[in-house]
Chain A
Amino acid sequence: MHHFKKMEKKIILFIAFAVLHLSIVLLNALGINSLTQKTLNKLYLTYCTLSGTDTKYGYFSPNISDDFDVVYTLYKREMVDRKFRLKMKNEECRQRLYTMYNYFYRIEESRDLMARSLAFGVLKNYPDCSKIKIELFLYQLPTTRQYQNKAKAYWELFYSTEFELN
């Protein structure tokens, strides 16, 4: 009897959890990702982050965003030493690199900081170079109609910055 009562309580608690959890999933999907009460909001956000419910599931929507690439130019005594794109070891790692570039492109506020971090990350591997230029290019893909009319895709410079080691 005691065991049965214990089980009942466990089931009720689990049902309560399920309702609460799925409500949070739904709220996040609806774009409600913060609460007005400060402490409650912190708890809510922590739960969302830990459980993975902090997403709107809007992958590739409403439209497919622009494509981009980052080119690094290294200088040795004011002369161009090398110009390259970062290469990852496999497709999965490459997708992650482009996810990071996506932030670099989309979030203007953190763009300079990210550029600085990338610059010093790259310069670390080339100790004989003292200057680096980072260029973010956007891929201008024509629409299908434009493509049929012989329009070609091209890369357009979107952002450029330089860093120099003192």
Chain B
Amino acid sequence: MELKLKPSESYLKQLSFFRVIIALFCIFQAMAIYPNLLELYGANGMINSEIGDAFISNVLIRPNIQNLYPYLSPYLSAELFSYLVFYIYVLFLLLLTVGYRVRLFSALSWLFHLILINSALHFNYGVEQFTKICLFYCVIMPTGYFAAISKKVINETKNDLIPFISVKILQFHLCIVYFFGGLGKIKGTHWLNGEAIWRSIEQPQFQQFDMSWIAAYPLVLKLLGLFVVFIEISYPIFVNIKKMRGIHLILVIILHLNIAIFMGLRYFAAIMILFNLSAYGYSYLSAFSHQFINRILSVMNKYKRILKNVFATPNIQNYD
């Protein structure tokens, strides 16, 4: 049996799309953190980094601002060093976005992201984990073949399995994420009796609007909780059935949009949506963008014809 593959070019485009949107996401996320950078990630931040060290003491290397600063302390203040690390990180991300020396700058962006997040372990939530995963994938996967200044030449369009395997890694990883996310939820009671939705929209940490009126509709809360569990557990099945993929992706995106709107976890929601679009939604986006561009071109052509007729030089005949 022969394994039918799309030409690797389309996978390479998909991976390049992944690189660009992840790098852009990281830039926006960095901008959001910037106003409280020193409190969160500073060499003299809010929480002593040694407390964080106790959490992961059993690793070989853990680069962070506090460990690196002593080497430069004679030349720079702690604040300046923290800002410097941050600015270099953003610079590397910009170079990664435009695709300059992609492998090198994805590795450096990943390294500087590690330095930043290791400097403030207590402040990191799910968004950091997924950013780290995505940047790591940018390092190991061929993400620099399209939308890149330093364009690489594709020389094994049909035989090279690496882009295909890379996309499958992204997809399989997401399947594990959602399946185990859903499985964890059914171990408790909150998601099955609807209290999870109530608590996540009514607790001050997440509350964005006053939604207390929803307590009068426990059945709605219960159905919403079960819907979330269903979406997550069934993700590996439906997203891998071609006919169901589109609908399931839309449902997952709706789920994350709700997390952004009602819980305020905008960046977490954004990276999950982008990860999904890169792994499973690229063909839809690509088809949509082609349709969109074609429609714009046809409208432009139509108006071009009309304008051409209006401004056409009249054929003046000389009757003399």
Contacts and interface: CB of A to CB of B under 8 A. Distances in A.
Interface of A: 7, 10-11, 14-15, 17-18, 21-22, 25-26, 29-30, 34, 41-43, 45-46, 49-53, 55-64, 66-69, 88-100, 103, 110, 113-114, 117-118, 121, 139, 141, 143-145, 147-148, 153
A18 B47 contact: no
Given A92-B267, A96-B124, A117-B46, A55 B129 contact: yes
Contacts of B190: 62-64
Main secondary structure, interface of A, reads: helix
A141 B205 CA distance: 12
Contacts of B74: none
A49 B188 contact: no
Given A14-B161, A100-B123, 4 more contacts: A15-B161, A18-B165, A56-B180, A94-B264
Given A7-B159, A143-B195, A147-B215, A50 B184 contact: no
Given A50-B136, A110-B51, A61 B32 contact: no
A48 B194 CA distance: 34
| A-B interface, 4 closest residue pairs, ranked by CB to CB distance from nearest | A62-B188, A61-B184, A89-B35, A52-B132
B21 interface: no
A160 to B, nearest CB: 19
Interface stretch (B55-63, B94-102, B284-292, B310-318): B55-63
Contacts of A18: 165, 168-169
A92 B59 contact: no
Main secondary structure, interface of B, reads: helix
A117 B59 contact: no
A51 B187 contact: no
Contact of A52 (B35, B56, B130): B130
Contacts of B72: none
B264 A91 contact: yes
Nearest to A124: B44
B196 interface: yes
B177 interface: yes
B253 interface: no
Contacts of A94: 264
B314 to A, nearest CB: 61
B213 to A, nearest CB: 10
Given A11-B161, A53-B133, A144-B198, A99 B54 contact: no
Interface residues of B, number: 76
Nearest to A148: B215
Contacts of A91: 264, 266
B5 interface: no
12 contacts: A15-B161, A49-B59, A53-B133, A62-B184, A62-B187, A64-B195, A67-B203, A95-B265, A99-B125, A141-B199, A143-B195, A144-B195
Given A56-B184, A59-B181, A21 B169 contact: yes
Contacts of B169: 18, 21-22
A100 B185 contact: no
A46 B61 CA distance: 7
Nearest to B186: A62
Contacts of B185: 60-62
Nearest to A22: B172
Given A10-B162, A46-B60, A141-B199, A69 B180 contact: no
Contact of A121 (B47, B133, B194, B195): B47
A90 B62 CA distance: 28
Given A42-B59, A103-B122, A121-B46, A93 B35 contact: yes
B40 A96 contact: yes
A99 B120 CA distance: 11
A80 B172 CA distance: 56
A41 B204 contact: no
Interface string B94-133: 0000000000000000000010000010111110011011
A22, A46, A99, A121 interface centre (most CB from chain B within 10 Å): A99
A151 to B, nearest CB: 10
Given A10-B162, A18-B169, A96-B40, A139 B264 contact: no
A14, A144, A148 interface centre (most CB from chain B within 10 Å): A144
